């Protein structure tokens, strides 16, 4: 039996870093074989204690040859992913050759064949410890070294690396050496890629995608290059340090398990960021933010790299903060601050209240497996909010001056939290030790609450220092009074008069949950729609969502607010986040009916500008809340001459969304039943509560017969045929994934069994996730109930051997979150010794959330199932 792959521990990394100094890697990859690739690596390194022993890493490969200082090593000596190196000299040369299969799961060297253009596409994905799949290395972030890459590939391909191309001849590409890089930042692209080039401020730029998406890339190239240029200009001004690498390529790659990764000189993005035609403003804004985030990493993470993974926030929180700052600061996306509050910051706050919460800068990250679990809303969004508060505390000019010193002092080296704080203390003359202990070394979110006086009270542990503004908003939505607040303990007075709505943290300078007083909550349905500032509206919406989530505001009261203010919410991104909360946290839990959500969404759609991105976004949102009575409207969008609101661009993605909803509703072409209220439960003709275990989502299938998906007698809609027709219409990889999701939603035993196999066993992240997204549907309990137990039995297999990011997202998606049976089964699984850490975290968090909402539903305090 092969030896197991072992995660690198912090203790091992510290010991090896004390022993080894890497001078450089020379890597040659041969990717001419369609099944496997060959890697030849030469590592030049020094040893501080000649005669000592250490190890290099090679993962998922057959070791063909290893030579240390001219001495052959037995290939059988590869123990799991570790190649022991004994008798080290002061100066050493390690030569390793291995052969490995390509990945199809998004880690290591990933290979895809496009079903539409027939092209082959390869890309490298190295974080956190996947570089060792592509070349033999000391795979830890504080052993940085230049990497010189050559690639042998079919002569007609395009090949790109971290560094500029020096020569391409006869199927061999040679690249310049990189600056010192951590191994996890290595990447390579090879295949039939489509490339667009430009230059800005002396930096060569490129955009890359597969050929079947060339039209999308070409249409977006002007916007993408402009976003890159604007971000470069902003960072040059803010940091006082020029872009530290010699080129900047951005590739949109298939089957990507995440959103983006910040490889120096060659960033990889998920290709869904290349939009199909018209797209709403908030999607353009979020794409800009993601691009600015990855560019910020060229300084935060790539120029200066964390020493160990406990300081991942030094990479991610800074990139998060800067991405949103640049989006707003360039003037291109004035709604960026509001979007951050309602989308990203709330993500961080929810993560901060789960069992898996951790400090922004934990000091107990034992190994790389544990490190991966911290790529979450805390490291990103909470970390960014904490840094924003730090800049308010020190003053922005001082904060930025500290960053400039930090970059210069640790240029192409490594740094820690202590290093960062020391630089800021030096520049500001402020001792930040206590601040860091409360803000970065402890977990949890505080709550700020108005009190008579007026005053502000802080709860939660620990009590953190805050500096922010408070404002009073009148019934016209105008801020009439503002004041600066410094809160160092549990309470502080406010120099403000009374008014209809008192908003704490006006301007979003700190990180805390906000509450309104009873008078403010009562006035909110009148005041919120009138507030002109999108950031203030986002703050008020978030305060209402948090109060509802925490059980302080009845769901019915939130529904009243939604009816009053949602259709007129001008920021589409905010509107969709609020609707998503009402749908996923309230309606699907049985706490409010779906009908008002569909009505509010339809009203906003009717008011949207014809042909606008907002109109398209609202049409897509409507598919997620439409019930049986609205099915005919969705079917009309699929007609040869789409019958939708004037100007609606029925894109291919919208067609798939509409079809998926029709399949889930069991639509058969017949008119919806009238005279009886539709429900969110197991039957469309009863007002009984939703069956325990069923998602309380709108509209059970009209028929859930044994076959499901075929046309009912006399009907004009055959779901199986419709999916096949749509897949022929859209022969892309994305179309295939949409078809998988739709088939998983069919009310048929065979369809569920096929989908479950994909979920458990398919190594392609996008395919397995698509099957998971379609699997659990209301009204299909007879088909899906057995899979509740199956999930907990099969969950270990779902994560075994899969890329951690893929495994985390999959478990989150497929956990059966609408039945209390899941709680008992989760407890049994969590009691298993040696459970995979990814599985333990995701199941523990999902069970905690389920328990909270089930308790509220079963208490009978809030229960509404009627449409």
Q: Which residues are catalytic?
A: 294
Rounded to whole angstroms, the Cα distance separating 83 from 138 reads 10
Question: How far is CA 538 from each of CA 102, 417, 566, 570, rounded to the nearest angstrom?
Answer: 45, 32, 12, 11
Rounded to whole angstroms, the Cα distance separating 558 from 529 reads 14
Rounded to whole angstroms, the Cα distance separating 420 from 35 reads 46
Residues 6+ apart with CB under 8 A from 478: 532
**Nearest C-alpha neighbor of 175 from the set 185, 183, 165:** 165
Residue count (the chain): 867
DSSP letter assigned to residue 68: E
Half-sphere exposure of 252 (CA within 13 A, CB side): 25
Q: Other CB atoms closer than 10 Å to residue 845's CB: what's the count?
A: 21
Asked if residues 442 and 359 have their Cβ atoms less than 8 Å apart, the reply is: yes
DSSP letter assigned to residue 388: H
Asked if residues 819 and 692 have their Cβ atoms less than 8 Å apart, the reply is: yes
371 three-class SS: helix
User: Tokens 């959103």 belong to which residue?
Assistant: 259
DSSP letter assigned to residue 183: G
Rounded to whole angstroms, the Cα distance separating 133 from 214 reads 30
404's enclosing H/E stretch is helix 396-409
Based on C-alpha coordinates, what's the Rg of the chain?
27
Asked if residues 415 and 307 have their Cβ atoms less than 8 Å apart, the reply is: yes
Give the ranges where 125-280 is alpha helix by DSSP (H): 214-239
Asked if residues 857 and 590 have their Cβ atoms less than 8 Å apart, the reply is: yes
Question: How far is CA 814 from each of CA 750, 768, 784, 792, rounded to the nearest angstrom?
Answer: 18, 10, 12, 11
What's the N-to-C CA distance of the chain in angstroms? 57
DSSP letter assigned to residue 447: E
Pairs from 123-126 (Cβ < 8 Å, separation ≥ 24): 123/187, 123/188, 123/189, 123/190, 123/251, 123/253, 123/268, 124/186, 124/187, 124/188, 124/189, 124/263, 125/187, 125/256, 125/257, 125/261, 125/268, 125/803, 126/183, 126/184, 126/185, 126/186, 126/187, 126/263
Rounded to whole angstroms, the Cα distance separating 764 from 748 reads 24
Q: What share of the chain is helix, strand, coil (3-state, %, to 5)?
A: 45, 20, 35
Half-sphere exposure of 206 (CA within 13 A, CB side): 23
Residues 6+ apart with CB under 8 A from 545: 346, 558, 578, 581
Task: Cite the beta strand spans of 214-328 per DSSP E.
Answer: 248-253, 260-261, 266-270, 304-306
Half-sphere exposure of 132 (CA within 13 A, CB side): 24
User: Tokens 């924003």 belong to which residue?
Assistant: 388
- Which residues lie across from 96 on neighbouring strands? 41, 66
Between β-strands 54-57 and 193-200, what pairing exists: parallel, antiparallel or unpaired?
unpaired
Asked if residues 29 and 152 have their Cβ atoms less than 8 Å apart, the reply is: yes
């Amino acid at each position: 039996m092969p030896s197991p792959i072992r995660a690198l521990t912090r203790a091992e990394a510290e010991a090896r870093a004390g022993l080894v100094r890497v001078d450089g890697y020379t890597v040659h990859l041969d990717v001419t074989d369609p099944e496997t690739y060959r890697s030849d690596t030469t590592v030049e390194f020094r040893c501080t204690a000649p005669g000592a022993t250490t190890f290099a890493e090679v993962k998922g490969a057959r070791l063909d040859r290893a030579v240390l200082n001219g001495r052959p090593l037995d290939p059988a000596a590869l123990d799991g992913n570790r190649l022991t190196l004994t008798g080290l000299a002061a100066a050493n040369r390690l030569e390793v050759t291995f052969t490995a299969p390509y990945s199809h799961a998004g880690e290591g060297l990933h290979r895809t064949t496009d079903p539409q253009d027939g092209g082959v596409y390869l890309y490298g994905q190295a974080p956190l410890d996947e570089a060792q799949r592509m070349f033999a290395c000391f795979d830890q972030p504080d052993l940085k070294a230049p990497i010189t890459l050559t690639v042998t590939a079919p002569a007609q391909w395009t090949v790109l690396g971290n560094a500029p191309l020096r020569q391409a001849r006869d199927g061999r590409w040679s690249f310049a050496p990189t600056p010192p890089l951590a191994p996890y930042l290595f990447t390579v692209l090879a295949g039939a890629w489509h490339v667009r080039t430009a230059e800005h401020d002396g930096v060569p730029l490129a955009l890359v995608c597969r050929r079947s998406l060339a039209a999308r890339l070409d249409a977006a190239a002007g916007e993408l290059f402009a976003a890159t240029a604007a971000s470069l200009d902003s960072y040059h001004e803010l940091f006082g340090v020029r872009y530290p690498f010699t080129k900047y390529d951005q590739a949109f790659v298939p089957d990507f398990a995440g959103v983006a990764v910040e490889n120096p000189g060659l960033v990889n993005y998920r290709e869904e960021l290349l939009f199909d035609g018209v797209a709403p403003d908030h999607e353009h804004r979020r794409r800009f933010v993601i691009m600015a985030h990855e560019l910020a990493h060229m300084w935060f993470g790539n120029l200066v790299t964390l020493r160990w993974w406990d300081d991942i926030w030094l990479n991610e929180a800074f990139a998060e903060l800067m991405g949103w700052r640049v989006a707003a600061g360039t003037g291109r996306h004035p709604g960026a601050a509001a979007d951050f509050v309602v989308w990203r910051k709330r993500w961080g706050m929810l993560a901060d209240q789960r069992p898996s919460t951790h400090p922004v800068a934990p000091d107990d990250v034992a190994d790389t497996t544990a490190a991966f679990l911290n790529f979450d809303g805390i490291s990103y969004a909470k970390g960014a909010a904490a840094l924003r508060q730090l800049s308010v505390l020190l003053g922005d000019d001082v904060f930025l001056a500290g960053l400039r010193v930090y970059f210069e002092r640790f240029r192409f080296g490594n740094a820690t939290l202590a290093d960062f704080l020391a630089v800021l203390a030096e520049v500001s003359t402020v001792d930040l030790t206590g601040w860091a202990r409360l803000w970065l070394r402890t977990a949890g979110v505080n709550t700020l609450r108005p009190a008579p006086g007026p005053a502000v009270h802080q709860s939660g542990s620990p009590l953190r220092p805050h500096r922010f503004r408070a404002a009073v908003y009148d019934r016209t939505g105008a801020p009439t009074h503002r004041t600066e607040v410094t809160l160092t303990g549990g309470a502080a007075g406010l120099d403000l008069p009374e008014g209809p709505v008192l908003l704490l943290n006006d301007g979003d300078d700190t990180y805390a949950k906000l509450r309104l007083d009873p008078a403010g909550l009562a006035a909110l349905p009148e005041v919120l729609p009138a507030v002109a500032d999108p950031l203030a509206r986002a703050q008020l919406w978030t305060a209402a969502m948090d109060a509802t989530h925490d059980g302080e505001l009845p769901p019915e009261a939130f529904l009243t607010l939604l009816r009053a203010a949602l259709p007129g919410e001008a920021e589409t991104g905010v509107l969709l986040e609020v609707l998503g909360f009402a749908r996923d946290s309230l309606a699907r839990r049985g706490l409010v009916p779906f009908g008002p959500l569909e009505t509010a969404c339809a009203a906003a759609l009717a008011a949207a500008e014809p042909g606008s991105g907002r109109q398209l976004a609202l049409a897509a949102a409507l598919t997620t809340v439409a019930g049986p009575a609205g099915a005919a409207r969705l079917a009309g969008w699929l007609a040869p001459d789409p019958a939708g609101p004037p100007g609606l661009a029925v894109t291919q993605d919208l067609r798939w969304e509409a079809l998926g909803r029709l399949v889930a509703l069991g639509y058969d072409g017949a008119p919806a039943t009238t005279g009886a209220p539709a429900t969110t439960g197991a039957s469309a003709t009863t007002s009984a509560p939703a069956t325990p275990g069923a998602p309380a989502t709108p509209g059970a299938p009209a028929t859930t017969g044994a076959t499901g998906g075929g046309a009912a007698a006399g009907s004009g809609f055959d779901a199986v045929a419709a999916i096949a027709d749509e897949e022929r219409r859209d022969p892309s990889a994305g179309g295939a994934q949409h078809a998988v999701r739709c088939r998983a939603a069919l009310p048929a035993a065979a369809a569920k069994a096929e989908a479950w196999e994909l979920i458990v066993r398919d190594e392609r992240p996008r395919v397995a996730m698509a099957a998971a997204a379609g699997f659990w549907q209301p009204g299909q309990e007879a088909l899906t109930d057995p899979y509740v137990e199956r999930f907990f039995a099969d969950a270990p297999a779902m994560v075994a051997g899969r890329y951690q990011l893929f495994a985390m997202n999959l478990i989150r998606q497929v956990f059966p979150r609408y039945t209390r049976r899941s709680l008992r089964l989760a407890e049994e699984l969590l009691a298993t010794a040696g459970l995979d850490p990814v599985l333990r975290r995701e199941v523990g968090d999902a069970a905690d959330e389920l328990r909270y909402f089930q308790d509220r539903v079963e208490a009978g305090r809030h229960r509404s199932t009627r449409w």
